[in-house]
Amino acid sequence: MDWVSGQNLLALGILPAAMPELELYTSLVVEPALPPATAELGLRSEPNLELVDHLRPTLLVQSADEGPVNARLQAIAPVYLFDQRLSSLPNRLDGGRKALSELATRLGATTQFDRFQAGFEVEIEQAKKRLAAYDGRPLIVATVIDGRRLLVFGRNSLFQNVLDLLGIENAWDGHASLYGHTTVAADRLALYPEARLLCVGDSSGDRLDRLLAAPVIKSLPFVREGRVTRVADVLFYGGLPPAYRFARLVSTALAAG
């Protein structure tokens, strides 16, 4: 019923019959790739419940991040709540891992979970090897909102958990919301002259160019010295699948210089 549930099902090799906003998923979430036969459910905020009913599902999977379960959904089929939020676990990655393991158990897919988890661990080791020659500069990890503002990811974010595994420091030491990010004016980056800016999201490419061209920003050391790295879009929540993608993208980009 949402992207988080969908990508975690796909990580287990289970193909969802339908998901919302398929085109946006393909461009912003990207992995795991959607099978062509996946039906379009409409908006994430207002899925087509008539279509859901028509598909006659045996189970509906919904992320706990999407709020309370719709009573109309419960009338169609049993609803499994995929909860990858922190709860008592120390970080978002652990929460996502636990949630995926529980989903796999529910669906009889524990072998697929073990395979995906092992693949993630291999990716982390490969990422560390790629980063062997990295200069060790701390990162400001952000997505550009417009020519003046960025969404910066803090030390309670999923991206932080991956950086920890890779041995890279997150330069941002300011406030971050419960969801692991905060919106800041671009000139706040002046407080981190030694950092490298890691811009997440191809879709924000034009906005990043405008931001870097602003007089105040282009005078900053990380711009003057070419310490700006771009990576493709990655969902910043959702547990193991986006963490897997982020580890590969960030290590490959930083290794390239």
Asked which of 71, 104, 128 is the last residue of a domain, the reply is 128
The length of the chain is 257
pLDDT band at 63 (very low <50, low <70, confident <90, very high): confident
Question: Does residue 141 sit in the same domain as residue 115?
Answer: no
Residue 229 maps to which CATH number? 3.40.50.1980
Question: Does residue 46 sit in the same domain as residue 115?
Answer: yes
Angle, CA 234 vertex, CA 154 and CA 119 arms, to 5°: 100
Asked which of 101, 128, 155 is the last residue of a domain, the reply is 128
Q: How many CA atoms lie within 13 A of 24 on its CB side?
A: 11
Query: What's the pLDDT at 181?
Result: 94
Question: Does residue 140 sit in the same domain as residue 116?
Answer: no
Query: What's the pLDDT at 214?
Result: 84
Give this prediction's pTM: 0.92
Its domain, for residue 56, covers 3-128
**Cis amide bond preceding 193, omega within 30:** no
Q: Name the domain count of the chain.
A: 2
Whole-number mean pLDDT of the chain? 91
Angle, CA 92 vertex, CA 90 and CA 98 arms, to 5°: 85
Asked which of 90, 108, 128 is the last residue of a domain, the reply is 128
Question: Does residue 57 sit in the same domain as residue 111?
Answer: yes
**Percent of residues, the chain, with pLDDT higher than 70:** 95
pLDDT tens figures, 145-203: 887 899 999 999 999 999 999 999 999 998 888 888 999 998 898 899 899 999 998 66
